[in-house]
Chain A
Amino acid sequence: MSSQPLLRVTNLTHMYGNRVGCRDVSFELWPGEVIGIVGESGSGKSTLLSCLSTRQQPTSGLVEYDTKDQGLVDVYSLSEPRRRMLMRTDWGIVHQNPRDGLRMGVSAGANVGEPLMAVGARHYGDIRQQAATWLDKVEIDPERMDDQPKTFSGGMQQRLQIARNLVTHPRLVFMDEPTGGLDVSVQARLLDLLRRLVTDLGLSAIVVTHDLAVARLLAHRLMVMRQGQVVEHGLTDQVLDDPHHPYTQLLVSSVLQP
């Protein structure tokens, strides 16, 4: 087991004026670990994710990441170029809406190849080869690599977004409702794919979802959020099977059984 966490979050708070986005969130994420953040809409899940992935400066608190060269570093103290480099090489962000994470006007191959070009790849043949490999991994026919994502179905677009995120071999991936907006059969395929990729690549991930079944499948650990605060935190199956906090019990008992 690794002796140093990949991400350490200490008393992270984000206020929207007087309103709480998230408050006093602290946790550590270890290499290879997947944390699920669950809670209803407005509970602060997405705010927390934005603060963690440096898309929104928190009001207070610390987000430290284990960089390859300097060890644990406060990500908000990094210069913009270093932060961008970090996001490009070490991190991935899978948005709920693939349109937010893809370039809809350029081909699927270019969408997957762009992160490589962004870190200096300048050999067309290599870039294309890698793009084809990744399309195959996310179960998109490499025959379609010159088609634009707008000709793809929602599930394919989401898988393309995942390929685009993983092609640079990140160590940490943030996912915001990765299966939201997809119908169940497509969702199942995506979940299976995500599960496999996370295990095979030894990724760490933070997955925001309101779907407890998704959380159970993907996450090792679960944080339950309510009104901006983490009310329960533990092993995924323990939190779901033996919930302690009243809100978690309500959440678990409110799930419809098909």
Chain B
Amino acid sequence: MIHVQALSKTYVLHTQGGTSIPVFKDAALRVAAGECVTLHGPSGAGKSTLLRCLYGNCKADSGSIMVCHGGEQVDIASAQPRTIIEVRNRTMGYVSQFLRAIPRVPALDVVAEPLRAMGVDVEAARARAGELLARLRIPERLWHLAPATFSGGEQQRVNIARGFAPQMPILLLDEPTASLDAANRAVVVGLIEEAKQRGAALVGVFHDDEVREAVSTRIVTLIPEVSA
């Protein structure tokens, strides 16, 4: 489902005298359907950056990221923005640590939105959204409020619900369990297992050893690049 080859990324900070921070060089990764590959390594090794490159949120300097999108191979590293948007709408989901709350949009619609983007009708999308929110123990009285006012943990769970709602063939998980309690962590582990069962390809970064052990089919270790 995902095939990364010779991927390199360096951050250049122009506002700080053009400092170069190499993140990784010639990274390679292959993920098949039904797999959950965990990126592991010390902080600064580029785990999040690699995930963000897969999602098109970071622009790699060189290399390719081939992704299977509706039977076609798309290179995220060189694709047109509108192609990447199309891939994000239909093929690839991303769960980050933080929810980007949109003013005035209620939690239920935040979760239903990716389904709506796929063309699911309002009622079905909301039903699915409600199902996930319930599983993640978001009390129903909060569903119709905008999540901007929620606690950090609640916002994160809304974000997880949003990520899992559309059942994407590829799912990228950036520390989805970072600030969750044990019960909610178990729910997320369950969701990941279900995604694997239905044949999704998952790539994740998990801080929590327990969760990592529970969900990973394979662990890839990244080593930090040494600054030149």
Residues of A within 8 A of B (CB): 1, 30, 33, 188-189, 191-192, 195, 199, 216-217, 220-221, 234-235, 237-238, 241-242, 244-246, 249-250, 253
Contact = CB atoms under 8 A, between A and B. Distances in A.
Interface in B1-59: 11-15, 52, 56-59
Given A241-B57, A242-B58, A246-B14, A235 B85 contact: yes
19 contacts: A189-B103, A191-B103, A192-B104, A221-B82, A235-B81, A237-B57, A238-B57, A238-B58, A238-B59, A241-B52, A242-B11, A242-B59, A244-B12, A245-B14, A246-B14, A246-B15, A249-B13, A249-B14, A253-B15
Nearest to B104: A192
A224 to B, nearest CB: 13
A242 B56 CA distance: 10
Interface of B: 11-15, 52, 56-59, 81-82, 84-86, 100, 102-105, 116-117
A192 B103 contact: yes
A246 B11 CA distance: 12
A234 B102 CA distance: 22
A21 B84 CA distance: 31
Contact of B15 (A188, A199, A234, A249): A249
B15 A250 contact: yes
Given A188-B103, A192-B103, A250-B14, A234 B81 contact: yes
Contacts of A192: 102-105
Contacts of B84: 235
Given A235-B57, A238-B58, 11 more contacts: A1-B82, A188-B104, A189-B104, A199-B116, A220-B81, A235-B56, A238-B81, A242-B11, A242-B52, A249-B13, A250-B15
B81 A221 contact: yes
Contacts of A237: 57
Contacts of A249: 13-15
For the residues of A in contact with B, the DSSP-based class is helix
Nearest to B148: A188
A195 B102 contact: yes
Contacts of A188: 103-104
A199 B109 CA distance: 13
A220 B85 contact: yes
Contact of B58 (A221, A241, A250): A241
Contact of A217 (B52, B57, B102, B116): B102
Contacts of A238: 56-59, 81
Contacts of B59: 234, 238, 242, 244
B84 to A, nearest CB: 6
Contacts of B100: 216
B95 to A, nearest CB: 15
Contacts of B13: 249
A42 to B, nearest CB: 21
Nearest to B58: A242
User: Of B12, B84, B117, which is in contact with the most chain A CB atoms at under 10 Å from its CB?
Assistant: B84
Contacts of B105: 192
A246 B13 CA distance: 8
Contacts of B52: 241-242
Contacts of B14: 245-246, 249-250
A238 B14 CA distance: 17
A221 B82 CA distance: 8
Contacts of B12: 244
A191 B15 CA distance: 31
A238 B103 CA distance: 22
A192 B110 CA distance: 12
A203 B226 CA distance: 47
A188 B149 CA distance: 14
